[in-house]
Chains A and B, each alone.
Chain A
Amino acid sequence: MATTYTPQPTGSGLKANVQRVGAHLAGMVMPNIGAFIAWGLITALFIDTGWLPNKELAELVDPMVKVLLPVLIGYTGGRMVHDQRGAVVGAVATMGVVVGSEVPMFLGAMIIGPLAAYLMKLFDDLIQDRVRPGFEMLVDNFSAGILGMLMAVAGMKAIGPVVRTFTDAAGNGVDWLIEHDIMPLASVLIEPAKVLFLNNAINHGVLSPLGVQQAAEAGKSIMFMLETNPGPGLGVLLAYLFFGPRRLRATAPAAIIIQFFGGIHEIYFPYILMKPRMILAAIAGGATGVAIFLATDAGLVAPPAPGSIFAYVAQTPKDGWFGVYAGVLASAAVSFAVGSALLGFGKLAEERTGGETDGDGAEAASDKTADDDRAARTG
């Protein structure tokens, strides 16, 4: 039965490293998604153009996005490096980049939070075993307090301005891509990276922070939809449902529910990894979606996380329904059409071609029995 096991991954050191760096970035944002959603809901409801305009409640919007969210990111980033003490100095240091900044300082928080925590860790390691008994608490509290103060000042005077330059440049870069109508090409990079499990890194590490910045100014952002659009995955799974290898067809309905409604996109990555050419379907669908989002000036008010259609509904601005859902549906339709063609409308599905991944996937698939089908339905 050893053949049913996947081989040891080889030569993927670079991929693992990229994944790891990305996981650090995403790891600062993802535990705080609940706060992003709270902010998104408050924005969608209470701003002037919202569902229930309310001047008093709308005052929550600005401090939450400019202070609360970056501080949470800095706190979490600090905690990843040096537990609670790192979290505390990370949060204090983040205040340095937050105060006096016109835009939400997510990038700044992602840098200064872990940096402050790392310095705290260095200090703690240095003085360990050198503190007189009974003075530990005094030393611990004041070292964190003094370092926090210094980092907050450094953040305000040094790191903040530098990061602001970078943030502005990134924002301008995005504007340039939008103005020159080449944004849909982003899907050529995003979709393949996504199925290599860089999805969180790309979305929460890069796109969400840029998007929040745009949304704070414009009330919505297309950046939230580049990676999270559930349409391309839906199209790929539908193609498998109708034209995939016979044994995989039974698993597709459950996968569709988990992906499109539950928002766990990981469920469809294996369907692409086992037939790598199917990535073309995801790219075509993704690019179609982005093109329609651009043409209709669509955007979401906050990150839809997880990338479920329900999260989309919750974060769609009141006047933006048409563009968002036209884009999602069209991307599903296009990736379904391309995916079906790539599967030869059923004729090419069973053939074993391509690289190692292709063969393994087909093998794994053909080992399935009625038990798997039952598992798929109950799962």
Chain B
Amino acid sequence: MAAINGKDIHKLIVACDAGMGSSVMLAAQLRKELKKFPVEVSHTPVASIPADADIVVTHSELATRARQAAPGIPVVPFEVFIGDPAVKRLVTIIKEGGDLDV
């Protein structure tokens, strides 16, 4: 269990199977929420997460693949696409600082 501080997150990747559908939707939502913060939000297929990502957000069904594709990069798995507590907490620590166990 490592912890990451919200202030250290500058590149956030939302990953889904194809990188074309649900990840685009969630990335757009997060981008809007984090507009005022120095965080770049992008979406990719779970198989091609860029190595310089600070944190990866993906559905828990895809988390195994995300961890294999991007070893060493913290993964935040979530359950529901709208208003998931894990995603909400991530947004909070980015906005207000604080640590997140990943």
Contact = CB atoms under 8 A, between A and B. Distances in A.
Interface of A: 1-2, 4-6, 8-9, 12-13, 15-16, 19-20, 23, 26-27, 30-31, 196-197, 199-201, 251, 254-255, 258, 262-264, 266-267, 269-271, 273-274, 306, 360-361, 364-365, 367-368, 371-373, 375-376, 379
A256 B78 CA distance: 19
Given A6-B77, A23-B45, A264-B25, 7 more contacts: A19-B65, A20-B47, A197-B62, A266-B59, A267-B25, A372-B85, A379-B83
Interface centre among A266, A269, A371, A376, by most B CB within 10 Å?
Answer: A266
B5 interface: no
A27 B45 contact: yes
B96 to A, nearest CB: 14
User: How many B residues are at the interface, by size bracket?
Assistant: 20 to 34
Contacts of B59: 197, 266, 269-270
A273 B82 contact: no
Interface SS, A side: helix
B70 interface: no
A199 B25 CA distance: 17
Contacts, number: 115
A19 B46 CA distance: 10
Contacts of B78: 6
B82 A16 contact: no
A23 B83 contact: no
Interface of B: 16-18, 20-22, 25, 29, 45-47, 59-65, 68, 77-86, 88-89, 101
A266 B83 contact: no
Contacts of A262: 25
A199 to B, nearest CB: 8
17 contacts: A4-B86, A6-B60, A6-B77, A6-B78, A6-B79, A16-B64, A27-B47, A30-B20, A251-B80, A258-B25, A264-B22, A269-B61, A273-B61, A361-B79, A364-B80, A375-B29, A379-B83
A197 B85 CA distance: 21
Contacts of A23: 17-18, 45-47
Given A27-B45, A200-B18, A360-B79, A4 B89 contact: yes
Given A16-B68, A26-B17, A270-B59, A4 B82 contact: no
A374 B21 CA distance: 22
Contact of A375 (B17, B22, B77, B83): B83
A257 B84 CA distance: 18
Contact of B83 (A196, A258, A360, A368): A368
B17 A9 contact: no
